[in-house]
Each structure stands twice: as structure tokens, then as C-alpha cells.
Chain A
Amino acid sequence: MRLVNGSVNRWAGRLSRHRRRPVAGAVLMLFGLVLTGSLYAAFSPAQAGSTQSNEELVEEGRQLFLVGCSTCHGMNGEGVDTVNGNHLGPPLAGVGAAAVDFQVGTGRMPMVQPGQQNPVKPESYSQEEIDALAAFVASLAPGPAVPEEADYSTADLSEEERVEAIARGGLIFRTNCTACHNFAGNGGAMPRGGHAPDLSETEARYIYEAMITGPGNMDNFSDGNLSPEEKRDVIAYLYSLREQPAYGGFTLGGLGPVSEGLFAWLVGIGTMVGFAVWIAAHTTRSSKQKDGQTA
């Protein structure tokens, strides 16, 4: 107890010593200002984004675009071609806000280096900045908009409708998506070093955006191809897969015979070989002799 009292007294003493310093007043005032400002920002009902007009958002997006994207996509999103006639960055007129939200929101853009496929990485822009970029790109030409949550959410369906949606989504997924994304949505290899991404962690919004914009080598699934309800059902099915326990045991990535065969060869046969080596390496011999015999 005395120890605690002692340390509290010492701390209070040090504080009161600092209080007498000349800068103490200025520091205290700064602290008060910061505190008031933070509290105001935290509790104030006004939101900066909602008061910002679309023109301002587009202008903010344009500034961000000039700094971060124009090297490859051109100053006005017109695209830049290489000397071979390939795109350094494709033209962005008509790709829509959804494509920007998908590419930048999943970290695929800005690209680290040109290549067959753009890897997913931690995103470089905040959601507000992504919205501004999307507004700028959407202002170039009409294109698919960022979907509303109501487009892909099954929250307002009854339990029975939800089950039906999942079943229908499964049929549509297995017909249209499994060729590349694998029967369990775990992704797969594509020609020339590409791959179809694993869908087991992807957010519903990004799955929806990928379907309407067809990123990279993926086909479009525009509303005339798969209706918005059908897209919602596919997402409901993919989400239902995530909740499903692995009734058949370890899924080993859900990749089928490749990972299962590898497991059987390496772990299964490896264990047996290890077992055989262990058996042979341990002798059962004794240095003793049978009664009545000598060495």
C-alpha cells in the first residue's frame, strides 16, 4: 500500500513541477482545442461526404486519378498503348463506377507491375477516395454503377425464399461459373499463368461487381445475361457454402484430385515409408544368451 501511495505522490509531484514550465499553458490550450475538435467531429450530425456535390466528387476523383492512375490509363482515362499495340492501361470510358470500386476496392488497382494477372493486395485508397475515383470514371461515359446492398442481400427474403434462392443460385453457379472458379468456388488455373480467384472470402459486393463488369479475362454477366435476382441467388449460394460444415472430412482446399492425390502420395505413403524405416531401425536384439550357451 505504501508503495502505491509513494508512486502516485511521485507522479503528482512530477506533474506539478511541469505545470510551472512556461510552455505548459500553450500545451494545455492545444490539448483543449484538439479534444473539442475531436469531440465535435465524433458527435456532429453533419457528414462531409453528403454535402459534397457530385461535381466536387468528380473533381476530387480527377485529382486522385491524375496522380495515381493517369500514367497507364491516360490523363482523361483514354488508355495508353504500348509500341506493340497492347494496352499499357485500357481506356476507361464506359467501364463504370462498379469496375473502379471492384478493381481499387479489392486492391487489384493500382497495379504493381504489368502482367498476366493483377494480384489482390491490401487496398491503397480509402473508401471515400475510391468513391471519388469511381465518380470521375463514371463521368467519362455511362457504365455499370456500384450495386446497392439491396441488390445482393437476401436479408429481406423469408426463410423459404432464401432456401429456394440458394438452390437456384447453385444451379446457375454450377452451369456458368464452375468452369473457371471450380465446383466449390475455390478458384482454378487459367492459361498463360492466370488464375480464376478463390471466391470463398470475397465480399458479396465485389462478387456482384465482378459479374457486371467482367474484370480481366472473365466474361460479363450483364443483367441481360443473368438477371439481378439470379446474381443475388449465386451470391446467396456462395455464402451458404461458407457456412456449410465439411461433412466429408478435410476439404484440402476443395481442389479435387490434385490436392487429394498429393496428400495421399506425400502424407499417406510418406507415413508408411517412415513407419517401415522406423521399424527396421529399431533392433529387438539382446546381448544376452540363452541359458546354457556361451558366446
Chain B
Amino acid sequence: MSDHPELDGHGDHGDDHGLPALPPDEPIANPGLPAHTWRPTDVDQAAEKRAERQVSALFGLSAVCAVLFVVAYFNVDENQTVIGLGAQTVALGTALGGALLLIGIGIIQLARKLMADHEIVEMRHPARSSDEDRDATVGQLFQGVEESGLGRRPLVRNSLLGAVTVLLAPAVVVFRDLGPTPNQVAKEQPYLGAGLEHTVWAKGVRVVRDVVGTPIRPSDLEIGDLVNAEPETIFALDEDGEPLLEGVPLQVAKSKGAVVLTRMDPRDNTPGKGREDWDVDGILCYSKICTHVGCPISLNERKTQHLLCPCHQSTFDLADSAKVIFGPAARALPQLPLMVDEEGYLVAQSDFREPVGPSYWERDSQASTTE
């Protein structure tokens, strides 16, 4: 008790008037900061010198590592290996990691051993500005509005607003011309199958195996087979023997035309309304592009006929018009109507009856897909 005179004082005061003791202003006296203890480097000149040398040695080693990085970059062969790893990657990683790590260790040692380390007390204060400051600021704002004269001269104010509005026009014109709109592409058809609503599939286009480009007969496929296929158009040559599609149009055609071809027992399949003749003996063809965000899907569970998108787990039932049975996709996969040509190969009856891939602004999601 004798250590806390204020506490005792309060207690006495309460007792004098026969009232209960008031709570003390500060129930536990502020003990203040503990006495400062010094570091070896503060009290020992030799230790200070040693720490100084140590920190500069760390910085020096870091510089050496940085130089080693450059040396390794130009001198280690990228085909060389060390313990089954690429030698260059290991050398570059070790050197750069070392350079950064040594700077970090050096800075920490500097802060711990050599920088001033006296304790600082910072008192809290309210975040609100004083009333005088607030009044002065608001006053200056009103004074500025008054002196600019915009309130008194509506002509000036309105013409300024008008000028700023018209300034948007150059921006609109410039950004609009960054590329053709989807509608323009669809109308102009600059290449085969251009536009969001079309692909290169058309009546009589053969379904060919992806990568190798060979056409497929129904008899090639057994029940349970899944073929990743493409339209023959992307492998086709024109009359000069040049590829029909090249560059961007080829990539567009490939990505929009990709399909999966699967053969199931026809008894397992429930064709959608109007799609009764879209398969050939249980061979069904669907767009490979997920209707959610356009990932290519070919993760098929043979037993359940469920095609699963690896990106977000949208699951489509191939035996039921590829309807969505799970996941974020909103629409079934577009189905490609199939038939067989005179030579016995699988061909498309037509293009897809609806746009492939993810939904977009102008797409009519309610439109019938089977007419």
C-alpha cells in the first residue's frame, strides 16, 4: 500500500464522509518504462567493430552472389543437369536467392546490433481536427467558390460543363475503333465460320480425329469410345495445295469447331426433342467448349456418360442432350447433328444450331435450338 500514495489518498477521502471509497483515477500506478538494458555492441567497442564488419561482410557476400548470378546466366549450359534438375535453374536460383537473403540478414543484423535502440513513447491523440481548423477549411472553400464567380456566371459554368462532356467523344471514337464488333464480324464474314454465331461446321463437313486429321467411319468406333475431333476444314488444302485456313482464322476455327464424339449403346441415349436423327447408331457429337467460360472439356466418365469440365466442374449428361447436371454452366453443350456421307464417313448435317462456348450479351438464350 505504501507504494501507491494516490490510492491511499482516495481511500482516506471516502472514509472521511462515511461514503464508500471512490474508484481511484488510476487503479494501478503507471509503472513507466523499465530501465534500459544495453546491448553488447553498446558497451563494448570491440563487439561494435565486430558487428560492423559482420554486417558489411553480409552485404559484400550478397554482391558476390549477384555477380555469380550473371556469371551462371552466361556460362552454365541450359541442357546440363545436376541431381536430375536443370543445372542453370539451380545455379540462378541459388545465386539470386542468396543475394536477396544476405541483404535481408544484413539489414536485420544492422537493426539489431548497431542502430539506435532507445525506447520511444508516443501518446494517442484524437483523429478529429480542431473546430477552428474545420471552420477555416470550410470558409476557404466557400470563398473559392465565391471568387471563381461560377455561381454568378451561368454561361461560363454551362459552357465548361459542355466542353468536358464533348471531350468524351474523341475517347469513344478511338476506343470503338480498336477492333470490329462481334456483329460486324458476323455480318462481313471475313473468313470461314467468322462471328460468334457460326463455326466452320457445315453440311457435309467430315468429322476427323484431332491432331492426325483422319476421317472416321461409324464402324471404327466401339461402344465406350471417345474421340476428340475437329472439322476436316481445318486440315483441308485449297486448289494450290496451300492450307485453307491459316493464322488467326485457323485458330478461331479450331477453337470453335472442337468436338467430342462418343459412341454409346443407343438404348442408353435419350435424344432431345427434334434431335431424334442427330446421332448415327449411338454416335453423338457435342461441342467440346464449355458453355460456362469456354474451357475445352473431354473428361468423360464412360459408365455414367457424364462429361466433366476440369475448370469449374460443370457436368453435362451426354446421354441426355448434354444437359447440365452440376456446376456453374447455364446451358447444355451444343450438339452437332451427324449423318454419314456416300463414302461412309461421319459428316455434319449442318453447323451447330446455336452459338458454341460461353454466353454473351446479345445471345438469345431462349431461342429454339432444334428447328
List A residues at the B interface (Cβ < 8 Å). 168, 171-172, 175-176, 179-180, 188, 190-191, 214, 216-222, 224-226, 230, 245-250, 279, 284-291, 295
Closest B residue, CB atoms, query A286: B40
Separation of A30 and B278 alpha carbons in the complex (Å): 76
Residues of B with C-beta under 8 A to A217: 300-304
Cross-chain contact A175 with B300 (CB below 8 angstroms): no
Separation of A179 and B43 alpha carbons in the complex (Å): 67
Separation of A288 and B112 alpha carbons in the complex (Å): 17
Given contacts A179-B310, A220-B302, A284-B40, contact A245 B225 (CB under 8 A): no
Residues of A with C-beta under 8 A to B44: 286, 288
Q: What is the size, in residues, of chain B's interface with A at 8 Å between Cβ atoms? A: 50
Closest A residue, CB atoms, query B295: A179
Separation of A55 and B112 alpha carbons in the complex (Å): 86
Residues of A with C-beta under 8 A to B209: 225-226
Closest B residue, CB atoms, query A144: B222
CB distance from B254 to the nearest CB of A (A): 11
Separation of A284 and B111 alpha carbons in the complex (Å): 11
Cross-chain contact A175 with B221 (CB below 8 angstroms): no
Closest B residue, CB atoms, query A222: B222
Closest B residue, CB atoms, query A172: B211
Beta-carbon contacts under 8 Å, B43-92 to A: 43-44, 78, 81, 84-86, 89-90
CB distance from B137 to the nearest CB of A (A): 43
Cross-chain contact B40 with A245 (CB below 8 angstroms): no
Separation of A218 and B38 alpha carbons in the complex (Å): 71
Residues of B with C-beta under 8 A to A246: 84-86
Further 19 A-B residue pairs, CB within 8 A, beyond A224-B221, A285-B37, A288-B43: A188-B310, A190-B301, A214-B302, A216-B302, A217-B301, A217-B302, A219-B226, A220-B223, A220-B224, A220-B302, A222-B221, A224-B222, A225-B226, A247-B86, A248-B86, A248-B89, A249-B85, A249-B93, A284-B113
CB distance from B60 to the nearest CB of A (A): 22
- B297 lies within 8 A of chain A by Cβ: yes
Separation of A188 and B310 alpha carbons in the complex (Å): 10
Given contacts A217-B303, A222-B225, A245-B86, contact A288 B38 (CB under 8 A): yes
- B42 lies within 8 A of chain A by Cβ: yes
Cβ-neighbour of B89 out of A216, A249, A279, A284 (below 8 A): A249
CB distance from A79 to the nearest CB of B (A): 14
Residues of A with C-beta under 8 A to B37: 285-287
